[in-house]
């Protein structure tokens, strides 16, 4: 009898598993791959943080073109050759001399002499940072000259030397229109002054100003300097940061833990 029971056990076949239908397998995969949608308030908070960071970054890098312009760095240089004097195109100096030349023949300034005072004061204020940095680096400068007030007083001589005795700058400022270097320098000065305060149009003014200065300088036989490229690239980066900060990212899904 025991042998018969063993034979019956051997004859028994293993039970077949119930086949899983395609619909059930798809449901299981859907459950495994199911994800939770990120809450709206979390997405908005992340977006505000990113926008705030990019806005702060844009304002910080906006001071780079401003520092280059106020330090009176040359954007274009004409090397000295036989029979040709060396020349440097500084946007701040060219814009100031151009403004003075325009005011000299403007009927509005003739009717209102007080405008000349405002123009001279504004120009001297723009020249003050350069005089201040020069005094800080000079070992012969007196302590009174190393202050902002002393630097502003020193611009009185620099103003007269720039406006009245710098023939190369005056020649570029009085060139026939369209005077690309003068127009570009004016746009550069305005754009760099307003860029740390306002975003949008000011960056485009800097880029357009750099292009006009480069094109006008090449017509005069000048070579572009690294400062010009730095100002233009920084303005483009500021535009990109501003555009990216204003874009809302698509809603993302947070994976279920």
Give the DSSP letter string of 115-149: HHHHHHHHHHHHHHHHHHHHHHH-SS--GGGGSHH
In this structure, what DSSP letter does residue 84 have? Answer: B
- The answer to the question of residue 238 being in a domain is yes
pLDDT, tens only, 113-159? 888 889 888 888 998 888 888 888 887 877 777 888 888 888 888 88
Of residues 110 and 254, more confidently modeled: 110
pLDDT at 31: 46
Evaluate whether residue 227 is within a structural domain: yes
Per DSSP, the three-state class of 103 is helix
Phi and psi (nearest 5°) for 230?
Answer: -65, -45
49 occurs within a structural domain: no
Domain limits at 187? 54-76+89-246
In a domain, 16, yes or no: no
Q: Contact, 210 vs 228, CB < 8 A?
A: yes
Distances (CA, A) of 60 to 67, 98, 149, 205, 216: 12, 30, 26, 18, 29
Please identify which residue in the block is written with the tokens 């006009």: 212
Look up the pTM and report it: 0.73
Band of pLDDT at residue 170, cut at 50, 70 and 90: confident
In-domain check, residue 6: no
Quote the number of domains for the chain: 1
Residue 175, helix vs strand vs coil? coil
Query: Is the pLDDT score of 229 beyond 90?
Result: yes
Query: Is residue 27 situated within a structural domain?
Result: no
């Amino acid at each position: 009898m025991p042998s018969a029971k063993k034979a019956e056990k051997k004859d028994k076949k293993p039970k077949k598993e119930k086949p899983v239908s395609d619909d059930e397998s798809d449901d299981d995969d859907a459950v495994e791959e199911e994800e939770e949608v990120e809450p709206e308030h979390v997405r908005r908070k992340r977006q505000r943080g990113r926008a705030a960071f990019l806005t702060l970054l844009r304002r910080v890098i906006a001071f780079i073109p401003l520092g280059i312009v106020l330090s009176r760095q040359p954007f274009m240089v004409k090397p000295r050759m036989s029979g040709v004097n060396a020349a440097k195109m500084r946007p701040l100096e060219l814009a100031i001399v151009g403004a003075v030349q325009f005011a000299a023949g403007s009927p509005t300034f003739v009717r209102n002499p007080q405008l000349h005072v405002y123009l001279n004061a504004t120009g001297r204020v723009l020249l003050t940072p350069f005089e201040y940095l020069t005094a800080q680096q000079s070992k012969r400068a007196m302590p009174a000259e190393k202050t902002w007030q002393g630097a502003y007083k020193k611009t009185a001589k620099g103003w007269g030397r720039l406006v009245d005795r710098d023939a190369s700058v005056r020649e570029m400022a009085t060139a026939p229109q369209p005077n690309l270097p003068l127009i570009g320098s004016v746009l550069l000065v305005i754009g760099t002054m307003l860029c740390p305060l306002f975003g949008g149009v000011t960056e485009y003014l800097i880029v357009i100003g750099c292009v006009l200065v480069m094109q006008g300088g090449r017509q005069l036989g000048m070579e572009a300097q690294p400062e010009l490229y730095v100002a233009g690239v920084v303005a483009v980066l500021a535009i990109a940061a501003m555009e990216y900060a204003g874009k809302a990212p698509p809603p993302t899904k947070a994976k279920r833990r």
